Amino acid sequence: MPFNFDEIIDRRSSDSEKWNYYDADVLPLWVADMDFRAPERVIRALQERVAHGVFGYGGCKQRLRETICARLWRMYGWEVKPEEVVLVPGVIAGFNLAIQSAAGAGDGVLMQTPVYAPFLGAPRNAGARRVEVRLIQADSGRYEIDFDAFESAIDETVRVFLLCSPHNPVGRVWTKEELERLAEICLRHRVMICSDEIHSDLVFSGRRHVPIASLGPEIARNAITVLSPSKSYNLPGLYCSFAVIQNPELRRRFLDARRGTVGEGNLLGFVAAESAYRECDNWLGELLAYLEANRDYLAETLRRDMPGIKMARPEGTYLAWLDCRAAGIDGLPGEFFLKQARVALNEGKGFGSGGEGFVRLNFGCPRATLTQALERMATALQVAAKA
Ligand SMILES: Cc1ncc(COP(=O)(O)O)c(C=O)c1O
């Protein structure tokens, strides 16, 4: 049965943060969850578990670890053993624990900006220091890595490189060659890699996600990778994520950092993850086709109706990074679109250096919602241009 991603589901009358944070006349294309129902099989698995009615401590965690390993092999040819999988509630918790297990007061944590905002505060949570290196934009608008700048940013205090792969917000799916170069530099400087690969399944035609730790045993020994089914199957409120840590020493330190803080996750999250990873490849395939069509529609609409806004087509994720610097907007573009178009986007400056003048737009929604938001944005720009 084909899945109906065009269905408009009323989320404002639900507990949705995305839909209830702003006034009722605002269309929310900000926080990274999608406006689609989770796969029916996941919903059915949850219903069956809820019908049991008893929610004591537990969960089929060993089976879930095995399911995760089978899927990492099926999707990425990455060989992981169940004991190398550590369950954590969320990816943010996972990368914070990874940093806390490897860096402390005075140490540096390297990251490539602009980047997902919770990266920026993570070093401070460990008493460490953020070290930023800017991604650079080619003339096409596509972001690339300046490897010389990357290596120069590493001094003897830098302990961890926090990688975002695929990259939120710039939409790059890093190539094997790019990842190999990053990993080689980190190995040479004894910098541990913590790779946030939450968007790994959301990759469009012509691109392939490569887990950085799958590149070789030496790199695997130097990496903690944090993943989740939450973005791929739209389950973020269920909080089920995991870290792959193949080096026993890094795993021990990670478990030490976790002790007494967060647990492994929650029962319903485990049930949903198990079903998503076992039974929902078809759903994911159709979702990707829908998202890719939304991405292309967005690119065409911007080109036709808002030529002052530039966007390099995202290679993955359902997040678009719009360069509004030549759009004739006074002040912050996110504020402008919120006030003048009643569309909520993420303000680019929240993504660290290089984010000023940009907004992030979430196109994980029915086409009709995207169309309405883009019409409002185009009209607001036209009105501003006449004023
Ligand atoms: C790169 C990245 N990491 C982590 C998260 C959030 O992860 P979690 O909700 O599992 O903590 C997001 C959500 O947008 C994200 O884009």
Phi/psi region, residue 59 (left: phi>0; alpha: psi -120 to 50; beta: rest), is: left
Same domain, 306 and 237: no
Report how far residue 249's alpha carbon sits from residue 15's, in angstroms, rounded to the nearest whole number.
41
Tokens of 272: 């949903």
For the chain, the first-to-last Cα distance in angstroms comes to: 50
Q: What CATH number is attached to the domain comprising 353?
A: 3.90.1150.10
**Residue with the two structure tokens 């996750």:** 265
Per-residue pLDDT, 38: 98
Give the pairing of strands 143-144 and 358-362.
Answer: unpaired
Nearest ligand 1 atom, CA 32 = 14
pLDDT of residue 387: 84
Pocket lining: 92 vs ligand 1, CB cutoff 6 Å:
yes
In a shared domain, residues 26 and 159: no
- Give 250's contacts (C-beta < 8 A, 6+ positions apart): 101, 102, 192, 221, 224
- Say if ligand 1 is within 6 A of residue 91 CB: yes
β-strands 346-347, 223-227 pairing: unpaired
Residue 236 and residue 160 share a domain: yes
The per-residue pLDDT of the chain, averaged, comes to 97
pTM metric for this prediction: 0.98
Q: Which pLDDT score is estimated for 249?
A: 98
Separation CA 249–CA 239 (nearest Å): 26
Phi, psi at residue 343, to the nearest 5°? Answer: -125, 130
Write out pLDDT tens, residues 339-353: 999 999 999 999 999
- The structure tokens 């759903």 sit at 283
- Which domain-ending residue is among 279, 303, 325? 279
Among the candidates 279, 303, 330, a domain finishes at 279
Report the pLDDT averaged over residues 381-385.
97
Task: Read off the tokens for 383.
Answer: 């009105």
Determine the distance separating the centroid of ligand 1 and the alpha carbon of 236, expressed in angstroms: 8
- For a pocket test of ligand 1, which of 91, 235, 238 has the largest count of ligand atoms closer than 8 A to its C-beta? 91
Model confidence at 1: pLDDT above 70: no
* Claim to verify: residue 95 and residue 240 sit in the same structural domain: yes
Among candidate residues 279, 312, 338, the one where a domain is terminated? 279
What local confidence, expressed as pLDDT, does residue 184 receive?
A: 98
Flag whether 1 is in a domain. Answer: no
Closest CA to 113 of 104, 125, 122: 122
Q: Edge-to-edge strand order for the sheet containing 158-164? A: 85-88, 241-245, 223-227, 192-196, 158-164, 108-113, 129-134
Res 363: pLDDT: 98
241 Cβ inside 6 Å of ligand 1 = yes
Average pLDDT over residues 267-289: 97
Per the domain annotation, does 224 fall within a domain? yes
Indicate whether 10 belongs to any domain.
no
Looking from the CA of residue 93, the nearest atom of ligand 1 is 11
116 CB within 6 A, ligand 1: yes
Total domain count, the chain: 2
Are 261 and 280 spatial neighbours (Cβ–Cβ below 8 Å)? no
- 57-69 pLDDT, tens digit per residue, is 999 999 999 999 9
Q: Could you tell me the distance, in angstroms and rounded to a whole number, from the CA of residue 1 to the centre of ligand 1?
A: 30
* pLDDT tens for each residue of 64-114: 999 999 999 999 999 999 999 999 999 999 999 999 999 999 999 999 999
Task: Yes or no: say if 29 and 363 are a contact pair by the CB < 8 Å rule.
Answer: yes
Q: Provide the token pair at 376.
A: 């409002």
Residue 273 near ligand 1, beta carbon < 6 Å: no
Which helix (H) or strand (E) segment holds residue 133: the answer is: strand 129-134
How confident is the model over 2-33, as pLDDT tens digits?
Answer: 799 999 999 999 999 999 999 999 999 999 99
CATH number, domain of 114, equals 3.40.640.10
Q: Please give the torsion angle defined by the CA atoms of residues 332, 337, 343 and 344, in that order, rounded to the nearest 10 degrees.
A: 0
Residue 3 inside a domain? The answer is: no
Q: Are residues 110 and 215 in the same domain?
A: yes
223 and 123 in a single domain? The answer is yes
Query: Phi and psi of 127, rounded to 5°?
Result: 75, 10
Same domain, 110 and 60: yes
Amino acid at 266: N
Q: Are residues 300 and 321 in the same domain?
A: yes
Q: Is the domain of 350 the same as that of 236?
A: no
Quick check: is 5 in a domain?
no
Q: What percent of the chain has pLDDT over 90?
A: 99
d(CA 5, CA 375): 20
pLDDT of residue 290: 98
Range 164-188 average pLDDT:
98
Q: Establish whether residue 243 lines the binding site of ligand 1, counting it when its CB lies within 6 angstroms of any ligand atom.
A: no
116, 200, 262, 351, best to mutate for ligand 1 pocket (most atoms within 8 Å of CB): 116
Q: What is the mean pLDDT of residues 132-145?
A: 96
Tell me the C-alpha distance between 120 and 130, whole Å: 7
Given ligand 1 and candidates 164, 168, 194, 227, which is best to mutate, with the most ligand atoms within 8 Å of its CB?
Answer: 168
* Centroid of ligand 1 to alpha carbon of 307 (angstroms): 31
4 located within any domain: no
CB of 59 within 6 A of ligand 1: the answer is no
Q: Determine the structural domain holding residue 67 and report its residue range.
A: 43-279
Kindly state whether residues 305 and 265 are assigned to the same domain. Answer: no
The reply to whether 6 falls in a domain is no
* Most distant CA pair in the chain, distance: 63
Residues 270 and 331 in one domain: no
Give the separation between CA 171 and CA 316, rounded to whole angstroms.
5
Question: In this structure, is the dihedral angle defined by the CA atoms of residues 33, 363, 277 and 194, taken in order, positive or negative?
Answer: negative
Cβ of 168 below 6 Å from ligand 1: yes
Task: Give a yes or no: residue 143 inside a domain.
Answer: yes
Listed residue (97, 67, 93) closest to 80, CA to CA? 67
- Rounded distance from Cα 118 to ligand 1 centre (Å): 8
pLDDT surpassing 60 at residue 256 = yes
